[in-house]
């Protein structure tokens, strides 16, 4: 990615982030969001973050780019997240699992 | 535009919420170092974006995506802010114009939680609290991300800190799943994205997100229908 493309990307994301936060406050203050949209918006977080995780793990090589160590880290981190509901614990134990797998393979 | 005095209760309420965000900020700092973007541009996301998940997506997708996919993905991640904006809009209605423009810039998850809990304060008091929490998080966030940048450049490549963003997002998803439809949404998104991995420019993220949201929405409606049909006949 060139510097110009990077700056363009950052500024575009910045403008969209501001609009998503300010839009309704500035322009639609008196009208509530339709119930249907509020319901759908609740699933944006889990859906897009899951899709992003899969993409980051695959990297640029598609399914072939998936490493065992990476999957182990995410699986272990995921189990810890489910058990403790603690992001710090899940990150630390997940990364520890990664290093362990890298060490023994 | 008189600048309000900082509200001491903002610090008392804000710090406990900032502590869980520290690893996120550190991982972001590391990701900025690892990113295909120049470090300064990556760091500038703190100023121009100021939204952890969107920043992390922006810097970590830079290597494998065109800017269009990257921007669309961050935009989808940010959709949850629309909910915050909608929920707080009534509280902003009676506020001065400058604050209606400046306030939303700071509207991160934690500020949404704290300022909606404090919604019963009077206008001036609420605005002071909102801006105090907002600037507190802004300052702490910039500082911690910057520390992460130095940590990231000091730690050798073999430690594979480039994996940390994925582990972090996976943890966030799982902690965020509190209902069955949310689990359905996440699962549908994972499966769809896996199938769509070959779509150019990481387009699979958006396809996965759309299928995930639809699946969650449909699951919620299906569960609602079951619940009503199980009610005793009237």
The Cα A2–Cα A7 span in angstroms is: 9
CA dihedral B191, B197, B200, B206 (to 10 degrees): 30
The verdict on a CB contact (< 8 Å) between A53 and B217 is no
The Cα B104–Cα A21 span in angstroms is: 5
User: Lowest mean pLDDT: which of A17-21, A30-34, B1-5, B128-132?
Assistant: B1-5
Chain A residues inside the 8 Å CB shell of B88:
25
The Cα B188–Cα B5 span in angstroms is: 48
What count of other Cβ atoms lies within 10 Å of the Cβ of residue B64?
Answer: 19
Question: Within an 8 Å CB–CB cutoff, is residue B181 touching chain A?
Answer: yes
The verdict on a CB contact (< 8 Å) between B216 and A98 is no
**pLDDT of A1 over the 80 cut:** no
Rounded to two decimals, the ipTM of the complex is 0.86
**pLDDT of A44 over the 60 cut:** yes
Each residue of A80-104: pLDDT tens digit? 999 999 888 999 999 999 999 999 9
Question: Within an 8 Å CB–CB cutoff, is residue B155 touching chain A?
Answer: no
Question: What's the pLDDT at B32?
Answer: 94
User: Lowest mean pLDDT: which of A8-17, A30-39, B27-36, B225-234?
Assistant: B225-234
Question: What's the pLDDT at B234?
Answer: 45
Average pLDDT, chain B: 88
User: Nearest CA of chain B to the CA of A95: how many Å?
Assistant: 7
Please classify residue B152 by burial: count the beta carbons closer than 10 Å to its beta carbon, then call 0-12 exposed, 13-18 middle and 19+ buried.
Answer: buried
The Cα A89–Cα A83 span in angstroms is: 10
The verdict on a CB contact (< 8 Å) between B175 and A85 is yes
- Cα B148-B152-B158 angle, rounded to 5 deg: 150
Percent of chain A whose pLDDT exceeds 70: 91
Question: What's the pLDDT at B229?
Answer: 66
The Cα A86–Cα A17 span in angstroms is: 27
Most confident of A14-23, A30-39, B196-205: A14-23
Q: Which residues of chain B have pLDDT under 70?
A: 1-4, 229-234
Please classify residue B117 by burial: count the beta carbons closer than 10 Å to its beta carbon, then call 0-12 exposed, 13-18 middle and 19+ buried.
Answer: exposed
Question: What's the pLDDT at A36?
Answer: 85
């Amino acid at each position: 990615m060139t510097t110009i493309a990077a700056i363009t990307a950052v500024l575009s994301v910045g403008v969209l982030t501001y609009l998503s936060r300010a839009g309704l406050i500035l322009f639609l203050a008196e009208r509530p969001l339709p119930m249907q949209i509020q319901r759908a918006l609740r699933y944006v977080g889990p859906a897009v973050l899951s899709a992003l995780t899969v993409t980051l793990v695959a990297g640029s090589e598609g399914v072939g780019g998936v490493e065992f160590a990476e999957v182990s880290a995410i699986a272990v981190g995921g189990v810890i997240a489910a058990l403790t509901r603690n992001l710090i614990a899940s990150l630390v134990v997940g990364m520890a699992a990664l290093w362990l797998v890298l060490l023994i393979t | 535009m008189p600048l309000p005095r900082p509200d001491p209760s903002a610090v008392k309420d804000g710090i406990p919420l900032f502590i869980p965000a520290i690893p996120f900020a550190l991982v972001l700092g590391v990701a900025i170092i690892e990113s295909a973007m120049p470090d300064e541009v990556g760091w500038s996301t703190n100023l121009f974006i100021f939204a952890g998940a969107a920043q992390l997506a922006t810097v970590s997708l830079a290597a494998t995506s065109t800017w269009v996919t990257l921007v669309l993905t961050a935009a989808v991640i940010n959709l949850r802010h629309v909910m915050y904006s909608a929920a707080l809009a009534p509280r902003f209605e009676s506020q001065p114009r400058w604050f209606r423009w400046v306030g939303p810039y700071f509207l991160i998850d934690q500020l949404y939680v704290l300022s909606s809990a404090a919604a019963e304060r009077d206008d001036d008091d609420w605005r002071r609290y909102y801006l105090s929490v907002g600037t507190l998080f802004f300052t702490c966030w910039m500082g911690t991300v910057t520390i992460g940048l130095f940590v990231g450049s000091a730690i050798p490549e073999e430690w594979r800190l480039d994996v940390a963003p994925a582990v972090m997002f996976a943890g966030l998803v799982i902690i965020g799943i509190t209902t069955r439809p949310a689990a359905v949404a996440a699962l549908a998104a994972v499966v769809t994205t896996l199938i769509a991995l070959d779509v150019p420019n990481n387009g699979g993220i958006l396809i996965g997100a759309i299928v995930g949201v639809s699946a969650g929405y449909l699951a919620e409606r299906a569960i609602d229908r079951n619940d009503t049909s199980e009610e005793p006949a009237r």
